[in-house]
Amino acid sequence: MNAPVSIKTEAETGLAETFAAARPHLPGGPTVAAARAAAFAAFSASGLPHRRMEAWKYTDLRRLMRDAKPLAGAPDALALDQAGTAGALLAGLDVRRLVVVNGTFVPELSDLADLEPGLAIRAMADALAADNAVLNHGLGDLVPESEPALALNTALAGDGVVVTVAPGARIERPLHLAFIATGATATAMVTRSLVVIGAGATASLIETHEGPGGCDYQVNTALQLVLGDGGQLDHAKIIQEGGGALHLGTLLAHVGANAMFNAFAFTLGGLVVRNQMFVNLAGEGTQANISGASLLAGKQHGDTTLSIVHAAPGGQSREVFKAVVDESARAVFQGKISVQQAAQKTDARMMARALLLSPDAEADAKPELEIFADDVQCGHGATTGTLDEQLKFYLQARGIPPKEAEALLILAFVGEAMDGIAREGLRAALETATEAWLAARD
């Protein structure tokens, strides 16, 4: 049961003031303005999520979010210059870069030339200015209306990217949505993006989030994915926020019949991260492979929350999530598979594993199954433990130093989650980032 909290925190009061001040200037006509007002009213009714709300019991945002930062303005020349040097992780990949700096889509830093047939790209602000109700596109059957982080995003989102792929089109070059925070001033960036893949179309999407260290900026980002019947989409999200950042991310995916949806989430940076995914497998014969890895140290708090709904017969889903937790960091995994009555012949499996490298590290896992059909094969599980000392001794006995032996075991542990990444260049880049994280350990 979700208990209401009547006393407003400093952050909740600040958010109300921010919305009141920004409301007249946010893009959108009457339709969008009404959606924003309704969303903020829903947020105000519940306030920031807290531990008495079941979906947020491990991530008490009411406690973790101490204040509300002012909304970031349009990037200046210095910000654009700093953004131009970002993105080192994917430097070796041939991608079409679409850049959002401090919450604003920047065409001059984006690769918009020679678009493939069937591919269209525009700023979310332009779509909203045309009073296009894309803020609510396809959301009716994806998430509860009371989801507070998404409600806040709907109310305050100013820009992002809208990508459409025509039915039957094949987009060979991956699309890279690069969200970059710059500067030393603590601000808030609220973005909303929409990607629509037509029936029978194929595309790859890489989403990255990065920002400066030593600055407690805030990010609330949402990505809506609509995958048509028979389509295929590979999606990877990489969170490399600065060490003081708060990141609230929401993925909303609606997947059609006989479609293939592959997703990978990688959390590497940020002080407080909540990455939530709501995936509706709406069509018959749909397949989804969703995995992720989190590398957490210091006082980081990384929350991965996943909801998979099988709404039609013959669907298959596989979920594998790994967390490596060091020092006094905390990892959270909440995963729920819901099989509706019509979804007979569903085959679904979910597994979450956490590896604790310190006695002060913590991992919480809550996998769930909710089944209303009677002809299904479903399973879920979770484990938490430390490094296998026997395996470590085996490696050391063959001349491998202790620290290198640990690194090899951790790489193998994380590697299982990365096996589903089809693009070798991306997988290699993430493996390199994992090696760098391990090398930075004391």
Distance CA 393, CA 247 (A): 39
Is 372 strand, coil or helix? coil
Structure tokens at 441: 């350990």
With beta carbons less than 8 A apart as the criterion, state whether 292 and 261 touch. Answer: no
CB half-sphere exposure, 16, CA atoms < 13 A: 14
pLDDT at 420: 81
> What residue ranges of the chain have pLDDT lower than 50?
1
CA atoms of 390 and 66, how far apart (whole Å): 44
Position 140 scores a pLDDT of 56
pLDDT at position 423 is 85
- DSSP codes joined into one string, 267-322: E---SEEEEEEEEEE-STT-EEEEEEEEEE-TT-EEEEEEEEEE-STT-EEEEEEE
Asked if 217 and 248 count as a contact pair (C-beta separation under 8 A), the reply is no
Q: Identify the CA nearest to 62 among candidates 135, 1, 9.
A: 9
Three-state SS at 405: helix
pLDDT of residue 214: 84
CA proximity to 131, closest of 23, 26, 30, 22: 30
Beta strands 175-180 and 202-210 are: parallel
Strands annotated E in 282-427: 287-296, 301-310, 316-325, 330-339, 347-356, 362-371, 377-385
pLDDT of residue 134: 79
d(CA 96, CA 105): 14
Q: Which residue is associated with the tokens 């690769």?
A: 111
Judge if pTM exceeds 0.85.
yes
Q: Which backbone phi and psi does 36 adopt, to 5 degrees?
A: -65, -45
List helix spans (H) across 310-366: none
Question: CA 92, 322, 325: angle at the middle one, nearest 5?
Answer: 95
Q: What is residue 1's predicted lDDT score, i.e. its pLDDT? A: 43
